[in-house]
Chains A and B, each alone.
Chain A
Amino acid sequence: MNRRVVITGLGVCAPNGVGLTDFTNALLEGKSGLRYQPNLEQLGFGCQVAGEPFVADKTIDNYFTPLERRGLNATGIVYGVIAGLDAWIDAGLDKNNTDEPSWDRGIIFGTGILGVDKFREAIHLIDDGNVRRLGSTSVIQTMASGISAYLGGILGCGNQVTTNSAACTTGTEGIIMAYERIRQGKADIMLTGSCSDSGPYVWGGFDAMRILPRGYNDNPTEASRPMSATAAGFVPGSGAGALVLESLESAQKRGANIYAEVLGGENNSGGQMGEGSMTAPNSMAVQRCIRNAIANSGIEAADIDVINGHLTATTKDALEIENWTKALSRKQDDFPYINSFKGSVGHCLAAAGSIECVATVLQFKEQVVFKNVNCDEINPEISKLISEANIPRQTIKYAPKVIAKASFGFGDVNACIIFKKY
């Protein structure tokens, strides 16, 4: 079976906007979601800037029952449920009100680590000899698959309900997995996305690795500088993005709005060999991943109009651009438009791929290429490879036909996906 797969719903809970309207407006203007975090200063973090979605208490009430809210201390679940349910509703789908699970509908919703604040609560109780006081939700809020389990219960899905995890590749990987499941005829509708918790216990390890910018605590909106000559490291973020993938047949039967088609994609790994390591990508694998995604999609490299890179604002940005130029055999003026949303959203870790895919797909609807922020002065290593005109510093009016999106993660893992205007 080789069915066509389309995107019929989007949802997002991002540092620069909760809900599609706010998120779209923020991207159009390049409004930053990165803020100074007083708790990080109190804890002695070098980087005291991070991205965290603003979620009002009354917003949470719209998504969780009073019982679910009791003792809820897992921000990733809050973000993931908001984004996931929003995408479901955006697709014009209802909760399952029948007596039978929806066998043709499933969920692949990833995360890196879930419910760290809840886990911290549990650790304190256990260390105090008080394990009996943990309550019944300690497990479901801290298991990685807690997010797909919450969504699966709310929506009554009866197809595969699971959580994938591949570091910062998670969100993009999940979309490819969901696409494959529908393409093979194993499901009609898949809710896919990813989420990442907020807070010092998630971000601390990266601060300790000295890979976060330390010079922007007084100037948080300028801290994340992808492709810039002055890029100083990635700014950690959090949140969730979600997409409803559906067979074209099912979408047409329902008369659903179609944002874009998923043409294909590829997940691979560099085996931590050659220049690849636990934390650095093997370029051979990155290029292969992009080339295979193009081949799987039945298009040519020349068909790609826009790229949304991984581009985290580290010294590796130039290497990523070099890998794109080699994989596509396109450079200088011939290179597509390229952007990174991490300048305004930060690097949302496990949620990065899904949040950025939502933004990528919104470019078809808005007929724009969203701007890059904080890169007035482009990294000279990048300018040597591609024309600066291909790095929009203002949101430009342009109707993309094919957009490539890639994410790369610790463990030397890669994902590349090709979206097409429908």
Chain B
Amino acid sequence: MLMLVLFLKNTNYQKRIPKGILNDFNMLKEEKYKKLKDIVKIYLPEDVAVKDIEQNSHFMNDLNINSANLVDIVLDVEDAFDIRLENEDMEKMQTVNDAMAIIDAKLAQD
């Protein structure tokens, strides 16, 4: 089963430029920001609009996002950017800018 998965992945790899590589090296800042905004918007309470999301918005204080949902935002960011965030990263991730910086740092590590 594992061999099959690897085979399929490799075949895919040769057919087109893999998404992972794009994410890692070429993704524009705006693209990353948009991707992050798309993740965050579903967690906004009714009284906060998507247009209220700004680079320096604090997730809990400005966007009124439930603290339990920060856990889910972290998981969504991991999936979307194909990175892994540690507990320390989570604690540092207070604002949209913090999240962008952490994503950049993780992508640079890979």
Which residue numbers of A lie inside 8 Å of B, CB to CB?
66-67, 70-71, 133, 135-137
Q: In the complex, which residues of chain B have a beta carbon less than 8 angstroms from the beta carbon of A70?
A: 42, 72
Contact A67 B75 (CB under 8 A): no
Q: Of the candidates B42, B68, B69, which one forms a contact with A66 in the assembled complex, judged by CB atoms under 8 Å apart? A: B42
**0/1 string, B46-74, CB within 8 A of A gives 1:** 00000000000000000000001101100
A316 CA / B72 CA spacing, docked (Å): 49
A138 to chain B, nearest CB (A): 10
**0/1 string, B17-42, CB within 8 A of A gives 1:** 00000000000000000000000001
A135 CA / B69 CA spacing, docked (Å): 8
A133 CA / B71 CA spacing, docked (Å): 9
B63 to chain A, nearest CB (A): 13
Main secondary structure of the interface of B (DSSP, over half): helix
Instruction: Let me know if B81 is at the binding interface, CB within 8 A.
Output: no
What is the total of A-B residue contacts with beta carbons within 8 Å? 16
A155 to chain B, nearest CB (A): 16
A133 CA / B85 CA spacing, docked (Å): 11
B39 to chain A, nearest CB (A): 11
Contact A135 B71 (CB under 8 A): yes
Contact B71 A136 (CB under 8 A): yes
Contact A136 B42 (CB under 8 A): no
A136 CA / B43 CA spacing, docked (Å): 12
Total interface residues in chain B, CB < 8 Å: 7
Closest to B73 in A: A136
Contact B72 A135 (CB under 8 A): yes
- Residue pairs across A and B with Cβ atoms less than 8 A apart, 16 shown, are A66-B42, A67-B42, A67-B43, A67-B69, A70-B42, A70-B72, A71-B72, A133-B75, A135-B71, A135-B72, A135-B75, A136-B68, A136-B69, A136-B71, A136-B72, A137-B72
Q: In the complex, which residues of chain A have a beta carbon less than 8 angstroms from the beta carbon of B43?
A: 67
A137 CA / B71 CA spacing, docked (Å): 10
Q: In the complex, which residues of chain A have a beta carbon less than 8 angstroms from the beta carbon of B68?
A: 136
Closest to A136 in B: B68
A365 to chain B, nearest CB (A): 36
A135 CA / B74 CA spacing, docked (Å): 9
Q: In the complex, which residues of chain A have a beta carbon less than 8 angstroms from the beta carbon of B71?
A: 135-136
Closest to A140 in B: B68
Q: In the complex, which residues of chain B have a beta carbon less than 8 angstroms from the beta carbon of A71?
A: 72
A324 CA / B24 CA spacing, docked (Å): 73
A67 CA / B69 CA spacing, docked (Å): 10
Give me the 10 closest cross-chain CB pairs, A-B, nearest first: A136-B68, A136-B71, A136-B72, A135-B72, A67-B42, A66-B42, A135-B75, A136-B69, A67-B43, A133-B75
Q: In the complex, which residues of chain B have a beta carbon less than 8 angstroms from the beta carbon of A135?
A: 71-72, 75
B97 to chain A, nearest CB (A): 23
Extra 14 A-B pairs, beta carbons < 8 Å, given A70-B72, A135-B72: A66-B42, A67-B42, A67-B43, A67-B69, A70-B42, A71-B72, A133-B75, A135-B71, A135-B75, A136-B68, A136-B69, A136-B71, A136-B72, A137-B72
